[in-house]
């Protein structure tokens, strides 16, 4: 079950929200906890091992929080470090086991090689941030198991974030209340997120994934140069609307359940430097790295070489974290992180000041760097070999090899051209600004939501109803 | 952007619920067949969001391998009187005794599979074999038993393919796009299967995109017609596929009585795809189908080319290096198929 499955939209979510609203506020943590377990059970396809791993780490961190809360001085520090290392090891172990198993041709028994539970990297980061906040004294350790369980397993955030801190979650839950107005407000965000994901992201990614004529089907070394460039723009657009759409849906669900969710995206493509882009892209992850790695290392309040070192550590971890989120060997993710780090360091050293402070140059510089960074990141090009083959098609000159169909891109322009054009407009704040003005008119805004919602449902249906034919 | 709850206090929720009820209600009231997106959507909602739509191929492939099979679409016969003399009687009459025995299950790991029947009642087998066969795995040698028997000298590729028609589903579309044999004609369409070859749809290949098949066959004369069909309908019963295959051949020959018909073997799928779909896209089913199709060959007018192995990896399934989705080939791989046809698949 994902946010986009009919079972969630028409089954789980409405039932859960009604129950949650009707039951008194005392029961809300338990019901959110148990509801999230049900959701996770379906989302992970009933994987008992995943459930066991998730619940045992939950128990561990609940206890860890309690102990760190009462410990003092040196003991507190030792406890905190120990528990954080355990969490990090839990996060890394599935990948490490898989790599060991691969390199030594399955010498490990199957029971040891466990696939990472779905959403595990987000989930563990929330655990670690909770321990950090307790250790720093920003919050008291949570006594109620259900309260911490509801926070960590919260179905609105367990699959792909946002990585909300416990302090923020607790405070906002105490301030907001569940009402018909809040549910209604949440529906708006939910529908907008759904439409961005279904009507933009899922359409646009077809350049890569469409059966028969998508880049993945043709094979990356047999695509024409125009198609390669179409794919070059399609993947970043997809990635943004996929993740932004999800984040808005998560935010909408949060509203329905009576808490505020932190922003995860703030129009990153209008940024003027790579550093700014990453303050506007996946913001809760950036916050996490800042709070849990960058600041503890000293941040930028130390010598220049030390600051550069701190940034390097943060981006190394960012690369590793993304490699953990996806399949593949992870080499491309490390290359991706190094590529971005290079520009961030240059920006930090103010070498690129003449670009980032120039109104025109900065808006040329940023998209170029970011688009190429997503090309390295592209999960459809899992190995360095694939990436190399793709780049050689992207910049191919001279005679067309016989195994390339020069017209393979035309069908895609017809298929997704309009969605990509719309996608570019939706990178800017304009559509949202227009929408905020429209909101004053109930009739128009409700009509818009109904249309978006049912068109999205129709597209979900179409995806499900068309089996692959050859 | 924070806390901007819409001030309509529940109107949207109510409207959504109302449209949901209307969709279910209307879905219950309106006719059985959905004819437009709105109706389709209503049915979808009414049926509890299960996609009951049948796949485009015209019938429903059931998980257990039993099927509600679509009817064969016969062409409008609109051509001068033709005698349909030979062909068609499947399988017994054209077969030598030993081939009527079902071939055993194929085994993986490169074990010899005895799926090619020995159509021994043939003129001497003087297969023309161009010297350059380095790229072809040795497995192909076995398949020559049903391969062309020639009594004429080889002609140039250009000349040979000038009256060749390649007929088939998406794989043949890909073949047209990426193999690009000069002079050859293609008629291919996504989701083509043995029962809908003659429906009114046009070809997806650029050279014949203004014809349906009946139109093309009435218009142009072909000497050799290469057919590759079977993967879309692989979930149906073998007898249904073979019957319709032979009907398809029969109708083609009514239009083109002098053409040689060449049945191309269905290539394997990757092991992953095969394991995931034991009742449909499984290599065991593909092998069995190929074996049955090979018996349609009579060695005179109908021939069978078995070359599924050329894409196989060591495990007897299609190599993952050749396909992204496990079924159809990467653009760069069609040349293997083309080169095999050029080297071993010419019929004179």
SS3 annotation, chain B: CCCCCCCCCCHHHHHHHHHHHHHHHHHHHCCCCCCCHHHHHHHHHHCCCCCCCCCCCCCEECCCCCEECCCCCCCCCCCCCCCCCCCCCCCHHHCCHHHHCCCCCCCCCCCCCCCCCCCCCCCCCCCCCCCCCCCCCCCHHHHHHHCCCCCCCCCCHHHHHCCEEEEECHHHHHHHHHCCCCCCEEEECCCCCCCCCCCCCCCCCHHHCCCCHHHHHHHCCCCEEEEECCCCCCCCCHHHHHHHHHHHHHHHHHHCCCCEEEEECCCCCEHHHHHHCCCCCCHHHHHHHHHHHHCCCCCCCEEEECCHHHHECCCCCECHHHECCCCCECHHHHHHHHHHHHHHCCCC
* String of DSSP letters for A393-453: HHT--SSPPTT--TTTTHHHHHHHHHHHHHHHHTTSSHHHHHHHHHTT-HHHHHHHHHHHH
The full length of chain B comes to 348
Backbone torsions φ then ψ of B165, nearest 5 degrees: -115, 130
Beta pairing, strands B67-68 & B60-61: antiparallel
Nearest one of A181, A187, A20 to B10, comparing CA atoms: A181
Q: For chain B, positions 20-49, list CB contacts with chain A under 8 A.
A: 20, 23, 37, 40-41, 44-45, 49
Are the Cβ atoms of A469 and B41 closer than 8 angstroms? no
Residue B11 has pLDDT above 90, yes or no: no
pLDDT at B32: 63
Confidence band for B154, pLDDT divided at 50, 70 and 90: low
pLDDT at A3: 93
Residue B96 has pLDDT above 50, yes or no: no
With CA atoms as reference, the chain A residue closest to B57 would be A469
Mean local confidence (pLDDT), B237-247: 93
With CA atoms as reference, the chain B residue closest to A452 would be B16
Mean local confidence (pLDDT), A114-119: 85
Q: What residues of chain A lie within 8 A of the CB of B16, using their CB? A: 187, 449-450, 453
Residue B165 has pLDDT above 70, yes or no: yes
Of A335 and A458, more confident: A335
Q: Which two tokens stand for residue B170?
A: 């998406």
pLDDT at B132: 42
Residue A303 lies in a domain: no
Alpha-carbon distance A35 to A12, whole Å? 9
Sign of the CA dihedral running B216, B211, B184, B281: negative
Q: What is the largest CA-CA distance in chain A?
A: 72
Residues A402 and A262 in one domain: yes
Mean pLDDT of chain B: 74
Residues A122 and A226 in one domain: no
Closest-CA distance, A394 to chain B, in angstroms, reads: 16
Q: Which two tokens stand for residue A322?
A: 């993304």
Alpha-carbon distance A238 to A378, whole Å? 11
Residues A139 and A54 in one domain: yes
Mean pLDDT of chain A: 92
Mean local confidence (pLDDT), A20-41: 92
Nearest one of A292, A296, A205, A305 to A245, comparing CA atoms: A205
Sign of the CA dihedral running B107, B109, B114, B115: positive
Question: B328 at the A interface (CB within 8 A)?
Answer: yes
First to last CA, chain A: 28
Domain boundary among the residues A139, A157, A175 is at A175
Q: For chain B, positions 222-261, list CB contacts with chain A under 8 A.
A: 231-232
Residues A188 and A135 in one domain: no
Residue A85 lies in a domain: yes
Mean local confidence (pLDDT), A356-368: 95
Residues A163 and A203 in one domain: no
Residues A393 and A444 in one domain: yes
Residues A211 and A79 in one domain: no
pLDDT at B8: 63
pLDDT at B38: 74
* B92-344 topology per CATH: Rossmann fold (3.40.50)
pLDDT at A311: 95
Residues A10 and A159 in one domain: yes
With CA atoms as reference, the chain B residue closest to A184 would be B10
pLDDT at A171: 93
Per residue in B268-318, pLDDT (tens digit) is 999 999 998 888 889 999 999 999 999 999 989 999 999 989 999 999 899
pLDDT at B95: 33
Residue A281 lies in a domain: no
Are the Cβ atoms of B331 and A461 closer than 8 angstroms? no
Q: What residues of chain B lie within 8 A of the CB of A402, using their CB? A: 180, 335
Residue A196 lies in a domain: yes
pLDDT at B115: 37
Compute the count of residue pairs across chains A and B with CB atoms less than 8 Å apart. 138
- Which residue in A442, A457, A465 is closest to B11 by CB distance? A442
Confidence band for B41, pLDDT divided at 50, 70 and 90: confident
Residues A151 and A255 in one domain: no
With CA atoms as reference, the chain A residue closest to B23 would be A454
Q: Which domain holds residue A122?
A: 6-175
Q: Which residues pair with B225 in a beta bridge?
A: B165, B261
- Which residue in A217, A221, A436 is closest to B325 by CB distance? A217
Element containing residue A350 per DSSP (H, E): none
- Which residue in B15, B327, B330 is closest to A446 by CB distance? B15
Residues A166 and A61 in one domain: yes
Q: Where are the domains of chain B?
A: 11-53, 92-344
B39 dihedral zone (left: phi>0; alpha: psi -120 to 50; beta): alpha
pLDDT at B131: 39
Residue A304 lies in a domain: no
Are A254 and A236 spatial neighbours (Cβ–Cβ below 8 Å)?
no
Residue A37 has pLDDT above 70, yes or no: yes
Whether omega for the bond prior to residue A162 falls within 30 degrees of 0, making it cis, is: yes
Domain boundary among the residues A150, A175, A200 is at A175
Residue B210 has pLDDT above 80, yes or no: yes
- Which residue in B2, B6, B330 is closest to A219 by CB distance? B330
Residue A323 lies in a domain: no
Share of chain A above pLDDT 70, in %: 96
Of B78 and B218, more confident: B218
Give the contacts of B85 (CB within 8 A, at least 6 positions apart): none
Backbone torsions φ then ψ of B305, nearest 5 degrees: -115, 115
Residue A58 has pLDDT above 70, yes or no: yes
Mean local confidence (pLDDT), A191-199: 96
CB burial class (10 A; 0-12, 13-18, 19+) of residue B285? buried
Per residue in A77-110, pLDDT (tens digit) is 999 999 999 999 999 988 888 777 777 655 556 6
Residue B249 has pLDDT above 90, yes or no: yes
pLDDT at B72: 80
Residues A64 and A190 in one domain: no
Best of B332, B333, B336 to substitute, by most chain A Cβ atoms within 10 angstroms, is B332
Residue A298 lies in a domain: no
Per residue in A8-22, pLDDT (tens digit) is 999 999 999 999 999
DSSP designation for A200? I
Residue A295 lies in a domain: no
Q: Which two tokens stand for residue A192?
A: 């907008």
Residues A124 and A228 in one domain: no
SS (H, E, C) A222-289: HCCHHHHHHHHHHHHHHHHHHHHHHHHHHHHHHHHCCCCCCCCCCCHHHCCCHHHHHHHCCHHHHHHH
- Among A174-183, B125-134, B152-161, the range with the most confident prediction by mean pLDDT is A174-183
Q: What ipTM was estimated for this complex?
A: 0.80
Number of domains within chain A: 2
Q: Which residues pair with B61 in a beta bridge?
A: B67
């Amino acid at each position: 079950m994902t946010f986009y499955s009919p079972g969630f939209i028409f089954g789980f979510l409405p039932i859960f929200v009604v129950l949650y609203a009707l039951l008194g506020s005392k029961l809300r943590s338990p019901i959110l906890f148990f509801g999230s377990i049900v959701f996770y059970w379906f989302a992970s396809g009933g994987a008992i091992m995943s459930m066991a791993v998730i619940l045992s780490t939950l128990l561990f961190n609940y206890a860890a929080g309690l102990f760190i809360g009462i410990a003092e001085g040196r003991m507190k520090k030792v406890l905190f470090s120990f528990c954080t290392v355990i969490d990090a090891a839990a996060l890394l172990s599935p990948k490490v086991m898989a790599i060991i198993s691969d390199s030594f041709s399955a010498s490990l028994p199957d029971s040891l090689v466990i696939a990472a539970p779905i959403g595990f990297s987000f989930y563990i980061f929330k655990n670690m941030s909770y321990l950090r906040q307790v250790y720093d004294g920003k919050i008291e350790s949570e006594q109620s198991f259900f309260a911490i369980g509801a926070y960590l397993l919260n179905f609105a955030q367990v699959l792909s974030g946002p990585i909300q801190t416990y302090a923020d979650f607790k405070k906002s839950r105490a301030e907001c209340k569940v009402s018909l107005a809040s549910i209604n407000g949440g529906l708006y965000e939910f529908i907008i997120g759904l439409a961005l994901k279904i009507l933009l992201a899922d359409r646009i990614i077809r350049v890569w994934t469409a059966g028969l004529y998508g880049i993945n089907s043709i094979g990356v070394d047999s695509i024409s140069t125009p198609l390669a460039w179409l794919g070059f723009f399609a993947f970043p657009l997809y990635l943004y609307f996929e993740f932004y759409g999800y984040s808005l849906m998560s935010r909408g669900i949060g509203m329905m359940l009576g808490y505020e969710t932190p922003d995860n995206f703030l129009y990153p493509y209008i940024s003027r430097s790579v550093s700014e882009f990453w303050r506007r892209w996946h913001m809760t992850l950036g916050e996490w790295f800042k709070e849990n790695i960058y600041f503890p290392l000293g941040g930028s309040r130390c010598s220049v070489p030390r600051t550069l070192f701190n940034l390097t550590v943060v981006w190394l971890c960012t690369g590793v974290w993304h490699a953990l989120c996806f399949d593949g060997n992870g080499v491309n993710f490390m290359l991706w992180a190094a590529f971005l780090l290079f520009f961030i360091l240059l920006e930090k050293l103010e070498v690129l000041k003449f670009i980032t402070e120039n109104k025109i140059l900065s808006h040329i510089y940023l998209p170029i760097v970011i688009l190429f960074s997503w090309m390295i990141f592209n999960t459809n090009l899992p190995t360095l070999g694939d990436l190399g083959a793709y780049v050689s098609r992207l910049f191919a000159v001279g005679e067309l090899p016989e195994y390339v169909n020069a017209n393979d891109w035309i069908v895609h322009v017809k298929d997704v051209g309009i969605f990509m054009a719309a996608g570019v407009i939706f990178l800017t704040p304009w559509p949202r600004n227009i929408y905020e003005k429209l909101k004053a008119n109930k009739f128009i805004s409700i009509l818009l939501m109904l249309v978006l919602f049912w068109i999205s449902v129709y597209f979900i249906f179409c995806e499900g109803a068309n089996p692959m034919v050859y | 952007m924070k806390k901007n709850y819409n001030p309509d206090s529940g109107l949207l929720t109510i409207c959504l619920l109302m449209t949901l009820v209307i969709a279910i209600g209307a879905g219950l009231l309106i006719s059985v067949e959905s004819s437009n997106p709105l109706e389709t959507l209503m049915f979808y909602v009414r049926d509890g969001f299960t996609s009951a739509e049948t796949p485009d191929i015209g019938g429903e492939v059931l998980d257990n391998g039993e099927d509600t099979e679509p009817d064969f679409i016969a062409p409008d016969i609109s051509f001068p009187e033709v005698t349909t003399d030979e062909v068609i009687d499947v399988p017994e009459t054209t077969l030598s005794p030993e081939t009527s025995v079902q071939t055993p299950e194929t085994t993986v790991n490169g074990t010899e599979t005895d799926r090619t029947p020995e159509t021994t009642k043939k003129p001497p087998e003087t297969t023309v074999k161009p010297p350059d066969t380095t790229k072809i795995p040795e497995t192909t040698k076995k398949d020559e038993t049903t391969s062309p028997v020639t009594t004429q000298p080889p002609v140039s590729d250009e000349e040979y393919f000038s009256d060749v028609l390649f007929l088939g589903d998406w794989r043949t579309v890909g073949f047209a796009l990426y193999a690009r044999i000069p002079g050859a004609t293609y008629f291919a369409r996504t989701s083509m299967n043995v029962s809908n070859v003659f429906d009114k749809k046009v070809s997806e290949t650029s050279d014949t995109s203004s014809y349906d098949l009946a139109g093309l066959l009435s218009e142009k004369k072909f000497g050799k017609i290469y057919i590759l069909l079977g993967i879309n309908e692989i979930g149906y019963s073998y007898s249904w596929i073979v019957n319709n295959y032979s009907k398809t051949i029969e109708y083609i020959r009514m239009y083109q009585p002098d053409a040689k018909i060449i049945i191309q073997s269905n290539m394997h799928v990757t092991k992953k795809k095969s394991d995931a779909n034991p009742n449909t896209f499984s290599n065991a089913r593909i092998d069995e189908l190929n074996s049955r199709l090979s018996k349609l060959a009579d060695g005179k007018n109908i021939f069978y080319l078995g070359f599924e192995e050329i894409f196989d990896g060591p495990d007897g399934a299609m190599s993952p290096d050749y396909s992204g989705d496990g079924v159809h080939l990467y653009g760069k791989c069609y040349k293997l198929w083309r080169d095999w046809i050029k080297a071993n698949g010419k019929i004179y």
